Amino acid sequence: MSGTELKRTPFFKILIANRGEIALRIMRTARRLGYGVVAVYSDADRDALHVREADQAVRIGEAQPAQSYLRIDAIIAAAKTSGASAIHPGYGFLAENEDFAQACRDAGLVFIGPSPEAIRAMGNKAGAKDIMQKAGVPIVPGYQGADQSDATMLAEARKIGVPVMIKAVAGGGGRGMRLVTDAAAFPDALRNARSEAQGAFGDPAVILERAIVNPRHIEIQVFGDRYGNAIHLGERDCSVQRRHQKLIEEAPSPKVTPELRARMGAVAVAAVKSIGYEGAGTLEFLLDPGGEFYFMEMNTRLQVEHPVTEAVTGLDLVELQLRIAAGEPLGLRQEDVKFSGHAIEVRLCSEDANHDFMPQSGTMALWQMPDGVRVEHALQSGSEIPPFYDSMIAKIISHGADRSEARGRLICGLEQTAAFGVTTNQGFLISCLRHPGFAKGEATTAFIGNHRDELLAPRANANAEAALAALLLYVTNPHAPPWRSGRSLAATFPLTMRIDLGHGAHEVDIVRERDGGYAAAVDGSELRFEIDELGRDAIRFRTDGMMESARFLRDGDCLYVLHRGATIAVRDLTLAAPASAAAAGGDGKVRAAMNGRVVAVLVKPGEQVVAGQPVMTLEAMKMEHVHMAGVAGTVSSIDVAEGEQVTTGRIVVEIAAA
């Protein structure tokens, strides 16, 4: 292709219309290629790392930070003000919004992504399925009609039969998605899916699909340029999910053969060529146990899990995006794409796996990421985790010569990760990676559901953890005798400590022995400790002839410990008042389980309710959580209004017990 045939759209400064780790990821490649970078931020992100790292940063948000990054007019104005001539949308927010892509075009800005027409064609699940069906691509049977009335949706659901999946037409990431296994639950699931879709994407429309039992979630990475060239970069297996959101992704898939990869890749390339697709995109498929695959949707953007594809291909996907957006030809033929080794990514999320993956917000007191693996994040010690955005706070990616090596490196990296102050899913991810089913490459989308009890089982060494936690609370107390004081002839007396490790209280008797060591008695067993070294945030000790070490952080009556790859959050209850029924709502007061926004109040004052009845829906980190009545009785007061932001523990509904 000669230079005269190229349709260049040069740019020199890029505004990144996103936040967090993806904003930093895009900045890294943009700067390597010589571009200036501009950040945007909401009030909640005023001091965020992506703001401080940018050349310039423009404020775009106020009272509702989650909506700030959806303000097309403010983002376009920010680009004009800063002198940026191109906008990269990242993922989430406006990344798949055709109106945003059109607004960039109308403003004379280069949109680093596909055209508005391509987003319209493939970004809408219903429209994309129609295009694929006409192209002969197998699709999941379902309903994607324009009639969205309750009666029609219920009738179509009955035709499909259970299990049936409800999916938001716009967007993705598991929002606005519900699996219905009981026909009687369909109306409530439909209402909740619509509400979540409206809140996340501004569009309540949904489609229905027959739920494929025990499939694998396989996606094909594609790239196209404006000259009609298109390639695929192989597949990613994203089957390990909770709430229909991915937790672990890998490339290649353990169950995709070279022949199947060629078939799926050819389908994906043909699809993007048929609509003149430009930029990065991902076609998502369900692969059933018999080896048949069905098209689900297309994501017209860069994916969260793109690093695993970069690891096995050696390509920088953001660089490809920038070059294509500037008008360069793809420069790669399908035969040029080579795959090397295996890569696995986990999403480290601020959530409590032991409490239905409830999102967590707060201050990350200590944040230290591991060496030897790739980490994408935008945090540091002292960073605030706000309740307004997705719960993913980091991606940790390993690459090895084969799957076993990649899995081992990732487990090792997670074991070295120090994230203290906000509960994360770190331990749950390690449990998933260690599980025999995952190790054998057998995980389907049912993996977490089928093995939940095993993955969340209490650790076998709970007594040892309690003993170590009590010891650390004892020796870090400012009034404790110095640990270096050595042997003593003085009499020693046990100190009974009551601690909570998140799964019930333990009573531990700590004794400072005459030889300078410590004994900890818990639940009928006794462990002896000798401290070799005690620093501000680390301890080295010996027990039963074994020398070990642990990281820790003490914050008043709270203690965080990283030991043997597990992070333990401990509360010292020794001087605390006894727990009451209030925490479980047994006093008739329903309390917010997290920081979040009230999206629906489901009862009225004076209404009769039964225990377990939904009374309020709270949205946090892009997911909705229904709160239930703790007792049967009469609603005496509603203490919040829809749209109000509430903090953890706030009383939202009061019930006079029957």
- Residue 35, both tokens: 């571009």
Among candidate residues 511, 513, 514, 485, the one with its CA nearest the CA of residue 497 = 511
What is each CA distance from 188 to 183, 184, 191, 572, 608, in whole angstroms?
Answer: 10, 9, 5, 42, 19
Would strands 36-41 and 56-59 be described as parallel, antiparallel, or unpaired? parallel
Strand arrangement, sheet containing 293-299: 293-299, 279-287, 216-224, 230-242, 245-251, 342-349, 392-400, 374-377
Cα(179)–Cα(82) distance, integer angstroms: 45
Distance (Å, whole) CA 131 – CA 270: 12
Write the Ramachandran bin of 455: left for phi over 0, alpha for psi from -120 to 50, otherwise beta. alpha
In contact, 646 and 592? CB cutoff 8 Å = yes
Place of tokens 């955005």: 389
Three-state SS letters, 574-612: CCCCCCCHHHHCCCCEEECCCCEEEEEECCCCCCEECCC
Q: How far apart are CA 139 and CA 294, in angstroms?
A: 5
């299990």: which residue's tokens? Answer: 163
Closest CA to 345 of 368, 374, 316: 374
d(CA 430, CA 136): 41
> Whole-angstrom Cα distance, residue 409 to residue 557?
34
637 is written with which tokens? 């007061």
CA 646: distance to chain centroid?
A: 22
Query: How distant, in Å, are the alpha carbons of 215, 246, 254, 492 from that of 444?
Result: 6, 12, 11, 56
d(CA 394, CA 426): 11
**301 is annotated as an active-site residue:** yes
- What share of residues in the chain are helix, strand, coil (percent, to 5)? 30, 35, 40
Name the phi and psi angles at 422, rounded to 5. -130, 130
- Distance CA(503)–CA(590), nearest Å, equals 22
Among 650, 469, 455, which Cα is nearest to 561's? 469
Q: Which amino acid is at 604?
A: K
Q: Which two tokens stand for residue 285?
A: 């498929």
Q: Which two tokens stand for residue 549?
A: 């070490």
| 449 within 8 A of 213, measured Cβ to Cβ | no
Strand partners, 178: 166
Burial of residue 450 (number of CB atoms within 10 Å: 0-12, 13-18, 19+) = middle
Q: Is 528 helix (H, G, I), strand (E, B) or coil?
A: strand
The residue annotated as part of the active site, out of 236, 301, 409, 512, is: 301
Distance, in Å, from the CA atom of 485 to the CA atom of 534, rounded to the nearest integer, reads: 13
Q: Which residues form the catalytic set?
A: 301
